[in-house]
Structure 1
């Protein structure tokens, strides 16, 4: 079986290269929600699934679903998969590798009896590029996509209209929701960070997907002449914002596991000889434990208001998004560790700082993630890469995981 899994790992890798050819923009990989190349992705994966004898369908959100039925109508289902959309000018592996590895696991086990159904998922959307809100594909499986249907893209086309234009029927979305008993969901994904590479580890087990808060902070002071206004008389909005940027970095550096990012900073009126009268900054703050994130955020906002008062400026804070942390299922983590140990692998635990489809599915079923090392920690970038030996390691662990689930639990949820 060694040669078979090696060949299947290579196939999963080559399939990522094949799928990278389906792009909206020649010369780069760009594939947004329901763009025309999405049809080519669906056709490619459908051919692979049909060769495996799987039942294939597309649901009303544009997700591809390839299913191996269980031994009876009441058998529970194990789900494997990830997403096939990309950010603009992307790499070839974010999301897509999780899909091709799911197909490789199914191919490796095609002749093995399983006491449960196996469903492979290729989610149509996860990145949030077209509509500014992510997880359109996986939200359909948990029945929460309806609330996004009115959202419009840059061309004024709503999600509902985009589905219809693509030939899908939004009224059929309830049929996309998961029904029956679910054993769980396993998502393979590149780490998109440096932790596994620094540890010299091929794979890692995700303990939780970090919660995050996103805010907009706006300071209002007084624009004035840069040459004639003495320093004690200034109400410099940008000076207050700048101090806050440093405070956010300091807070994150001294709080284990916390990350804080000011990704956008602007000042008006924006002239070299004018004291800034207003300034705006964004804040993105994340941690795998909500109580740590919330405490850090409260302390940072206290700092922001103090810094504003010291400079005689006012501060307005607008919350843009709050996403609670999502712990991965402890039982499935244990099974992944056991599968890795059986393959002779030392697999560290780590949180995910990025959001993934697994956090959406976790609202409906046990969910787990297996990270693959990201060489040079590059992702969302054309130079994103992965090591072939890590793909084979992930495939071996995935196969062991499914086999162990079948043998040890008898398929019971």
Structure 2
């Protein structure tokens, strides 16, 4: 069933994020070009862009730049497919009201949180004001605001009496019955959501409150009828086990609360069900530091590192994500260094940023790689992360549909 769902996702016509293509044609020249994970880089590369698509990519010996094209000199820099952040939130008050905020302000906020770090695609994993998020997405989709393709789960839901302690005094939507879950999911997806999210176990400040398994199954089945992915916040051991049993596709975090490392049997179970994992490792560091708790050797941090590292080592699917927007510190270098500390290689991190999410969310035919015919969603880095993983965050340009939406010399 899960294999069939993934196949259906890959065939889905994903028009919700379409953006007006750039009218000009131009060329990026001179960079070291990483076309996709696992492939050797092209030295002194040339990438030709026309009408928001890549029309040629190769070395300067293979691809000639037509005389009339505008040229962006990327000599000494590194060119990759645009990055995905598969866990963000546009929930801070600064995004409201999205339908009327000045373009310049929204562009700057996008730079601060998203585009300044190379992200051309993001998945918003919980909106507290869904109409506002739809308004923001509409302005980006139209090309008025310079931003990424925005996918969203809309409004999430939690178990009965399961609103997380860290969002109080807000109270999230609680569901206790399978029929209510199916109806809620259908309403969300018909309103334009690209997936759904639940807390399969929710921290109430005293314990991880479990979602009834039948509710998870009903919600997942309803979403899968629409060929949409299901995300779960697992919190702890109970939560990820309920998520797997209930048909969830993506864990929005590891499950370090309770400090239970993942065994080989646990990892086999996760892989058997083709569950993807979003690490959000900086989240745990940020939470500990915010509360004045030492990070070094803290069991929350070490458990999260173990779970992510063990899953990646076993071949489990990792999707890059940071929980930025809930995490108010937008800087991102820590996420890369923590992923490396967990044991992930350059290619594994590169995959989590590009080809893995493009495939998981049904866009692999046109996104995630640099090749003829692919979307011109690109990131230019100032230095090579293959030599220092922190360089993934040293962004010179972010390009969406052939349009520069961020450049480091014009912040």
Q: TM-score, normalised by structure 1?
A: 0.24
Q: Which has the higher helix share?
A: 1
Q: TM-score, normalised by structure 2?
A: 0.24
